[in-house]
A and B are shown apart, each in its own frame.
Chain A
Amino acid sequence: MGIRFILMVNKQGQTRLAQYYEWLTLEERRAIEGEIVRKCLARNEQQCSFVEHRNYKIVYRRYASLFFLVGVDNDENELAILEFIHLLVETMDRHFGNVCELDIMFHLEKAHFMLEEMVMNGCIVETSKSNILSPIQLMEKTS
């Protein structure tokens, strides 16, 4: 599976984007998000970005007021996931121009499409920013 879920949470702990790659009920999602937010948001800058949780790992990174949290299998490469998060942020930055929490709130659909370009079945399939964005630009043209 590789990546199990991707969350974007603001520093108040509100979910701004949630993408799961395995089916979970709403109650399970709510529980997971609650636990993870509690665990990760309490950590500070001097602490590492990897947290063991249940039977998987969470790799997270904070950009301004937004936390990017990725749940991965235990043998996944933590540093690669950090790079993935950074790539995601850069991609959104290129598209929205100086991306912020509001951009993601108001363009949730687009953020989902970007993720879909990058990840399929929990595998990272695309890592080139222009390749990720070209279908979205195409979509904007089509609609």
Chain B
Amino acid sequence: MASSSSPSLMDSLFQRSLDDIIKGLRHQQAGESAFVSKVLEEVRREIKSTDSHTKSTALQKLTYLHSICFVDMSWAAFHAIECISYPNFTHKKVGYLAISQSFQESTPVILLISNQLRKDLKSNVEVEVSLALECLSRIGNLDLCRDLTPEVFTLMASSRIPVRKKAIGVVLRLFGKYPDAVRVCFKRLVESLESSDSPPIVSAVIGVFCELASKDPKAYLPLAPEFYKILVDSRNNWVLIKVLKIFTKLAPLEPRLAKKIVEPICELMSKTGAKSLMFECIRTILTSLAEHESAVKLAAGRINELLIDEDPNLRYLGLHALAIVAPKHIWAVLENKEFVIKSLSDPDPNIKLESLRLVMAMVSESNVVEICRVLVNYATKSEPEFCNVILGSILSTCSNNVYEIIVDFDWYVSLLGEMSRIQHCQKGDEIENQLIDIGLRVQDVRPELVRVGRDLLMDPALLGNPFLHRILSAAAWLCGEYVEFIRNPVELMESLLQPRTSLLPPSVRAVYLESAFKALVFCLHSYLQSATSSDHSALGLSDPGVSSQSYDEYSGAHGENGEESGTTLIQENHITPDSVLRLLNLIDMAVGPLSGSYDVEIQERTRNILGFTELIKPVLSDSLHPQDERHKQQAEASKMVRLLHDTFSDELGPVSMSAQGRVPVPDGLVLYENLADLEAVCGSSLPASSATISFEGSHNVEGATSIFISDQKEESEPSSESTSLLAEHRKRHGLYYLPSEKNTEHHEANNDYPPANELKSGVTVSNDAQDLAKLAEQSFLPKRKSKQVKARPVVVKLDEGDVLPISSKIPQAKDDSLSEAVRDVLLGNEADADTLTQKAAADSVSRKKGKEKLNAKEQEDDLDHMDSQSGTVQNPVKERSKRSSRKQNADEGDHGGDKGKQKRRHRHGKHRTREGVQNPPANVISQTPVPDLLL
């Protein structure tokens, strides 16, 4: 029986009702979806029935499934339309419910209901009219709203209150979709404001105005007297809340209005027993009447009451209110400081969050240390999620505007170190950024940074926490870059090369290796320096205090010195030959195995280090042994080491984001616009670049040796090989590279970019340093701007803070035309509403078509306006006279201006421009006068 696709008589007779379905659904435990699809199958069959009862029941079931079980019902759109055309009310209402639940503006069949809606709007049965109005308010699109505006307009004057109320509610939809409805309905809407005899009407109409005013408050300023009357007279809290919302929007536009309403609002706030209304008063005062000190004081008093209430809702709102007042009257927050901090441990996460925001609002230069101390304590005690929220807000507040509120950077850096060690800390990325950022910007804090970094690196436990890897990467980089501040570089090397570093991801490990390399070079450099200087002193006069002892003496005292090296010897950067040997052995042991790493970064850096140690070992170990040959060999070694040391000690400056843009394009350089053939180039360059990766270790050492011995002009092998490939590549496809400044400014044909943080040759170092200094000088323009309060160290700022000018927002055409229409109606320069009722449809079409033209004219007009302001006379005579008449009007005062504008508008007719919206607000305010009776 169920096999046929068309409904049979049996189907109708034994159709399951909605109740059956609901009961069925309740008894399904697991197989709900199977049940639903079975019902759906039935519905698809039943809904085709010609019997109105069967059809509407099927639709009813479908609507239920749609709303509860997320079943698609867009396919049944036409059946829903059929149902609303049934005369039986029960069937009709099923159809309407289905439509309002499932239709959207773009539903294809939506226009088919236009006639039925009109019929029902004109019906004598009140509930039918209500259904139609509700339906329109849910699904009305441009066409429906335009077609049905006249009917709604009629109903707005209905004698039946419920109908009138709903008609007013629908108006909001009409205005939103079809702004020209304003010209028809607005007058009646305003009149409804005064129907104080029927509260439901006022309630509905104030809701509409509240929504309208929230989008474009300026246009409704002329209605202020009506709203004021409601504010003073109404006893309905719902209405009062809405009116307050309207005034919240209006008051900032008109200071006289603010002065007028502040007193009744304060009175309302102290008298009302309804917390919702009281809170709305508080909010209105805090957002829009913040200049009225006494009112704010009163509101602050009420907030204090909320804060100590037992109800968590009120506490939350109290904190929320404090957050509103914080930017303008921080005293109100400071008064409740203790409560706010106590709320950080409230059982409710929302209250915690709100109080955290307040705490952050209280932070200033003077109390940042204290507050951060408290917050970090809370963070260690909190559950992971809130802990990270706290850490995140500390980080963002402290780094705000280039660490504006930080005076003591040593403190802040150690705080960062402390935060990294908090158990749940997941802010690794942010802390990493700040550590490096501070290192680059604040020179004075580097010793402390290095100390913090060293402590982090030393702790083997931290390596096991993946959230900390980014921080460790920053610490390693800082310790390598500013290794001169390290008290014990040997110890640093040991922690950089400790076995547990194998837990690090390759990218971080590469940073570790590079830092180890830097530290190694630094150690050797200071060793050789001290050795030479002690030799000189030994030649002249023997100085027992300096380590001029021979290797033999040291080997005797090996154990002792080995342990002490950490503290005493390095104190003056003196490194013993013994510790140097140990370092070299350590490198062999820890770095050696990495040369086979699959990660290219690690492999490359490993090879750099190993190559260097291979090279330096023979020279160095000789210098450690026989006395006589020492000088020559040592000179050799120190030459090499100095070379690298100079490279690494070259200061890295921060680079402005826009630095590249400042590099001028040299004459004669042709830059291709179309880079389509770049793909071919990239394709051919790929094998070349892979070749750079797979160089041989022995080759590396050989090449490096020869270069170092011949002269110091070239870099060590790895980079020279890659640069030569780069050069070759560039020769072939030279055009796609930006010129390096060196090429144009310096003689050398040496056309390689020094890769950041890589080896550089001695000669290019000095050039680079100059370049960098130059570039830095260019990009540091506002750098000394930071105000130096107390002993605040210099914080280098770049001009990257300058935000690109955001292209001014294009006003939305719909809102635009809506507020324009409202303004017209309010200023009373529209023709009789009734004639417009018929005209409305045609009008809208022509408006739509003429939109582009209007826009063009607008621009012209704006230009004119600007011209007239700047005083250049280029405009047609007509335009000029218009402007001058406006100036006069402004002088004459509000009412005169009003009349003048009316005339002007009539003259320009439909193609009147939207100047009111485009011009600065000052103009608009003078255009929308607030009658004196109010002010």
Contact = CB atoms under 8 A, between A and B. Distances in A.
Interface of A: 1-2, 14-18, 21, 23, 26, 29-30, 43-44, 46-52, 75, 77-80, 82-83, 105-106, 108-109, 112-113, 116, 120-128, 131, 134-135, 138-139, 142-143
A18 B68 CA distance: 7
B170 A120 contact: yes
B207 interface: yes
Classify chain B's interface size: 35 or more
B912 interface: no
Interface stretch (B151-159, B273-281, B526-534, B822-830): B273-281
A79 B313 contact: yes
Contact of B162 (A83, A121, A135): A135
Contacts of B173: 121
A143 B484 CA distance: 92
Contacts of B831: none
Contact of B211 (A2, A50, A105): A2
A79 B276 contact: yes
B72 A106 contact: no
8 contacts: A2-B210, A21-B138, A46-B312, A47-B312, A48-B313, A48-B351, A75-B245, A138-B127
| Chain B interface, >50% SS class | helix
Contacts of A29: 70
Contacts of B93: 109, 113, 139, 143
A143 to B, nearest CB: 4
B280 A77 contact: yes
Contacts of B350: 47-48, 50-52
Interface string B80-101: 0000000011100110010011
Main secondary structure of the interface of A (DSSP, over half): mixed
A125 B94 CA distance: 23
Interface string B307-320: 00000110111000
A125 B60 contact: no
Given A77-B276, A82-B313, A109-B93, A123 B105 contact: no
B241 A77 contact: yes
Contact of A49 (B94, B105, B313): B313
B638 interface: no
A127 B104 contact: no
Query: Which 8 pairs of residues, A with B, have the shortest CB-CB distance?
Result: A79-B276, A120-B169, A123-B207, A47-B348, A48-B312, A48-B316, A143-B90, A80-B276
Given A123-B172, A127-B236, 6 more contacts: A78-B313, A109-B60, A125-B166, A125-B169, A135-B130, A143-B88
A136 to B, nearest CB: 9
Contact of B137 (A14, A105, A121, A143): A121
B64 interface: yes
A131 B127 contact: no
B72 A26 contact: yes
B127 A135 contact: yes
B563 to A, nearest CB: 57
B483 to A, nearest CB: 47
B208 interface: yes
Interface in B245-275: 245, 275
B19 A106 contact: yes
Q: Which of A112, A116, A131 has the most CB of B within 10 A?
A: A116
B906 to A, nearest CB: 34
Nearest to B349: A47
B313 A50 contact: yes
A126 B165 contact: yes
Contacts of A82: 276, 313
Nearest to B168: A125
Given A79-B313, A109-B60, A139-B89, A124 B70 contact: no
A105 B18 CA distance: 10
Nearest to B171: A121
B348 A142 contact: no
Contacts of B100: 116
Contact of B203 (A78, A83, A125, A138): A125
Contacts of A135: 126-127, 130, 162
A116 B134 contact: yes
B70 A16 contact: no
Contacts of B60: 109
B67 interface: yes
B127 A123 contact: no
Interface in B824-880: none
